[in-house]
Each structure stands twice: as structure tokens, then as C-alpha cells.
């Protein structure tokens, strides 16, 4: 089995099973060490017109502490638009003043016929504010897109980007052994403010928190009936058809 086939095999295992160390043993000791295939989860990106956005995207620093703080590396590790496109996250910037027509246009294009406005604020939620924030920050998926247009305040949407298993060789007992290290997830933090329109695809792991302003007023767009029940990360979410479909949509065709 050559390195490319081995990589594909390990990738398929990653897509359909829990992340475990996989080992592929080459029985012939004289096999040459081949270069690893290109480390890319996604097919080549089509040339698409870039959308105007002000939203900042960067890797989350994974440090403990108040979730409402920026959690930016120092120096920051920005995430480019192509990476966001590769995980199916889309964003636009529409100035709040006079936003209605443009928002209507996006809703029409994506067949979203209904909307409402919600506000997450300490003043509005009172005693249950902290509890609600913890709930929004629990990693989950939905069975439908999550579309949010920020009218006031802001916050952070964190979305998971799957990283590739790393391949490496080791010589053991006259045999070359090819290891695929367990893949891991990385949080990408999307800092949104008034005027940002964000689309998070069905099936992607994500979470939300307000920032230090403690206020987010948001338009939620949906079709007939919103499917916003949170399916928290676990066995049920991993086998959810929308999760499986999402993984297929961002993976290299075998």
C-alpha cells in the first residue's frame, strides 16, 4: 500500500469512527520512505467572488478564563477567508442603517421566509443570564443552517475546524510502520459585531458567547420551522445524518 492510499484509508476511518491511533504495517523492510501526500482536507476551492466582511476570524487560544474575553493568541493567528470557505462558513457585512433590503435579498436567495429578533443581555435575562451563557457555550450542532445578523452589540461564534491526521514512519523489527496520528479539532473564533451576517452550516460543531459588552441583538432567519435544537457533542451527534453529510461535504472525494 503506498502512502497516498494509506492516508486515504486513515482519513476514511477518521470520518466514520472515533479518533483513534491507526497503524498500518508494511511487512517488507526495503520499502522506500515516501513523501507524505499533501495535507489538505478539502478539494481545490472554486474561484468565488469574495464577499465584503468586517468579521475577524482567528484561532482560539484554548486557555482557561472568561469565555467573553477575546482568547486571541499573542501574536494573533488569523484565519483566512479560504479556510472559512473550506468549512462552509459564510459571512457578509451589511451596514445596520438601511440593512432591510440587502437582508431581504440574502433571505430570498437562500429561501428563508421567516425571521425574528432576539436579545441576549444581562438586563433582559436578569438572574438566568449566566446560566444561559453557559448553555450557549456548550459545543453542539444543528440540523439546519444557523443564520444570524447582528443588529447591536456583538459576541463570538466558535466553530470547529478538523485538522488532518499526521503521518510518520517508524522502523520496528525490520519493518516500516506508518502511523497516522489521531486527528484533532481546532476552534476558530469569529468575532462578530453590528452589521455582520453569519451563516454556520448544519452539522458543524460550534458554540456562542457574548463578548465583554454583554449584549447581542440579533436577527434570526429561518425557513418554515426552525430546527435549532442543540444536539450536544457525543455519540448521538456523531451519528447524526446532518453531521455525516457535513463531513462528507468538506472531505476529499475518495
Binding-site annotation, residues for Fe(2+): 140, 142, 146, 206
Question: Mapping DSSP to helix (H, G, I), strand (E, B) and coil, where does residue 116 land?
Answer: strand
Binding-site members for Ni(2+) are: 140, 142, 146, 206
H-run or E-run covering 13: helix 3-16
Q: What is the dihedral of CA 9, 11, 14, 16, to 10 degrees?
A: -70
Nearest by Cα to 108 from 50, 152, 147: 147
DSSP 46-112: P--PPPP---EEEEB----S-TTS--B-SS--B--HHHHHHTT-EEEE--STT-HHHHHHHHHHTT-
Residue 87, burial from CB neighbour count under 10 angstroms (0-12, 13-18, 19+): buried
The binding site consists of: 140, 142, 146, 206
The helix/strand count (H/E) of the chain reads as 7, 13
Amino acid at each position: 500500500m503506498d502512502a497516498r492510499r494509506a492516508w486515504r484509508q486513515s482519513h476514511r476511518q477518521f470520518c466514520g469512527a472515533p479518533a483513534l491511533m491507526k497503524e498500518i504495517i508494511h511487512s517488507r523492510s526495503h520499502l522506500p520512505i515516501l513523501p507524505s501526500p499533501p495535507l489538505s482536507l478539502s478539494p481545490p476551492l472554486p474561484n468565488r467572488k469574495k464577499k465584503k466582511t468586517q468579521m475577524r476570524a482567528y484561532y482560539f487560544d484554548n486557555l482557561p478564563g472568561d469565555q467573553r474575553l477575546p482568547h486571541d493568541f499573542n501574536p494573533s493567528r488569523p484565519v483566512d477567508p479560504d479556510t472559512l470557505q473550506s468549512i462552509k462558513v459564510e459571512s457578509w457585512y451589511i451596514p445596520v442603517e438601511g440593512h432591510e433590503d440587502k437582508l431581504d435579498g440574502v433571505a430570498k436567495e437562500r429561501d428563508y421566509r421567516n425571521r425574528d429578533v432576539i436579545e441576549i443581555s444581562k438586563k433582559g435575562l436578569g438572574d438566568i443570564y449566566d446560566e444561559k451563557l453557559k448553555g450557549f457555550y456548550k459545543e453542539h450542532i444543528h440540523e439546519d443552517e444557523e443564520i444570524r445578523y447582528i443588529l447591536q452589540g456583538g459576541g463570538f461564534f466558535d466553530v470547529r475546524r478538523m485538522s488532518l491526521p499526521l503521518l510518520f514512519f517508524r522502523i520496528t523489527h525490520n519493518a516500516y510502520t506508518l502511523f497516522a496520528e489521531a486527528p484533532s479539532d481546532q476552534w476558530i473564533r469569529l468575532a462578530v459585531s453590528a452589521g455582520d451576517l453569519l451563516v454556520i452550516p448544519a452539522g458543524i460543531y460550534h458554540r456562542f458567547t457574548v463578548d465583554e459588552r454583554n449584549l447581542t441583538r440579533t436577527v434570526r432567519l429561518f425557513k418554515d420551522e426552525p430546527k435549532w435544537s442543540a444536539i450536544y457533542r457525543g455519540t448521538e451527534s456523531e451519528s447524526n445524518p446532518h453531521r455525516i453529510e457535513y463531513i462528507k461535504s468538506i472531505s476529499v472525494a475518495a
